[in-house]
Amino acid sequence: MNFELYVAKRMLKNKKHSKNFSRPIVLISIIGVMLGVSVMVVTISIATGFQNRIKDKLLSFGNHIQIESMFQSNNNETSPIITLNESFTNLYNSKDIFKIQKYAYKSAIIQSKRKTSGSINELEGVIFKGMEHFQGNSFFNDYLVEGKYPSKSKKINDTIVISKEICKKLNLTINDKVSAFFVSDGKPKQRNLTIGGIYETGLNKIDSKFIFIDLKYLQKINKWGMQLKVSSSFREDSSIIEFNADNFSKNGKMIFDWGNNKIVTNNQFEIPTNVDTQINLIGYEVDNFEQNNLISIADTLIISFTSSNKEIKFSNSLGSEQYYTGGLEIYTKDEEKKSVIKDQLKLDFGPEFKITTIEEQHQEIFSWLNLIYQNVYIILGLMIAVAVINMSCALLVLIVEKTKMIGILKALGMKNISLIKIFVSHGGILLFYGFLAGNSLAILIIQLQNKFEFLKLSQENYYLDAVPMDYPLSTIIILNFSAFIFCLITMILPSIISSKTSPVKAINSEI
């Protein structure tokens, strides 16, 4: 241990401090540093907590990146995109992408079917969001407050998940029926839906808009794609099976390929029952019989007949709507790379697709979050300034108190730089105690708030009902280190005062 550091520690442990005026001043300064550091850490914790909680809620509505068609007639609705091309195949094979989910938006008006005496039921304009998967979706695990989400099944599910905000407006509850009025092909369509679950995120402006439903339901409403439906019957002598394609097109005509590479308008086909047979039926929806321009993706149905037990099986019966979607939500493995991934996707998909990040989709809310961080920087600057002033004052008091000692040390030949090291080391030790106590106090506050949530908020104004506090370890370590070094450097200025003291005057000092 060098001489300067030894002297500094002896000064800190000097029991005479208890009899002199410097002890309470030093203690107050350490307490000031402790409070300043705790305020800095808690401020960073709150700002990070706000950003993470609200971003998590917004990600539930859109994920990191969304891909939609550029050609949309309505901002509240998505136009169909077809996923049968190389760009979409490469997207599913990307190593930078964690999860992809299909979705679609459809605007509608809903009305409660509950009868209210003497009044007309209210109407509400909403946006239906068709979801490909409900199970395993963290959104419903976190924000579903009542009921359950639609179960996965081969049949189209008419169960919806509605927000608590909309339920209040229309006086709805679980298992109630609602009438939904959609517009398709310029014509209104009325559908009856059942409320299966109620969610609440606290983002009232978004909660009041969105209702979740099975994606297949919106695909059917929008008439995206087609699904072949075939009936069969045996002749009286059981020698022949007759197949009949029951599909018809409202917007065009139907043509078929019954597995013999011949396109026909006939929707009937016959096979003998004495041999095993497989038919690869392809159905096309076209605008007219002359030009045969496809209206939607063709559908394929494989029909297998086993002669031994007269059994008929239908496979690949999902329909071509599986290749249609309103958009894709992409959850990246590394959130920091989403801008790079977005730029690459724009090159891969071309100008006919609109590719946006979560920040671009909710610019107002993210601008508000950035404003919070601007306030954080101001608070951090003020708290560091308070810590510097506190420790500078404490160091100046110690220098005044140790004036006679300084004179003796200088008379013995101690250099000015050594004196500066003594007081900077002393200030560093005091700063260390203040920073240690401040971080301990901040961690205690964060733990208590996360457990008991005693600091409440107005959810209507802040989107949260309690002050969120996270502990971003790397950020807090960098903050502590940077603030400590800065405060330590500023200790040099008051320490220089000790080196300017005259030995003769210092020794003769009465202090």
How far is 199 from 54, CA to CA, in rounded Å?
Answer: 16
- Give pTM, 2 decimals: 0.78
Proportion of the chain above pLDDT 90, given as a percent: 37
> pLDDT tens digit string along 335-390?
888 889 999 999 999 888 999 998 888 888 888 888 887 888 888 888 888 888 88
Residue whose C-alpha is closest to residue 401's, from 426, 431, 434: 426
Proportion of the chain above pLDDT 70, given as a percent: 87
How many CB atoms neighbour CB 6 within 10 A?
12
Note the pLDDT of residue 278: 92
How far is 430 from 66, CA to CA, in rounded Å?
Answer: 52
How many CB atoms neighbour CB 347 within 10 A?
8
Q: Quick one: average pLDDT of 192-213?
A: 92
The chain-wide mean pLDDT, for the chain, equals 84
Return the structure tokens found at 134: 């409900």
Q: Quick one: average pLDDT of 175-195?
A: 90
Note the pLDDT of residue 5: 52
Note the residue count of the chain.
511
pLDDT band at 18 (very low <50, low <70, confident <90, very high): very low
Q: Quick one: average pLDDT of 212-234?
A: 90
DSSP secondary structure string for all residues of 2-41: -HHHHHHHHHHT-GGGGGSTHHHHHHHHHHHHHHHHHHHH
| Domain boundaries of the chain, sorted by first residue | 3-57+365-507, 71-224+323-350, 230-318
3 state SS of 301: strand
pLDDT band at 214 (very low <50, low <70, confident <90, very high): very high
On whether the CB atoms of residues 38 and 438 are closer than 8 A, the answer is yes
> pLDDT tens digit string along 138-163?
788 888 999 988 877 767 888 999 99
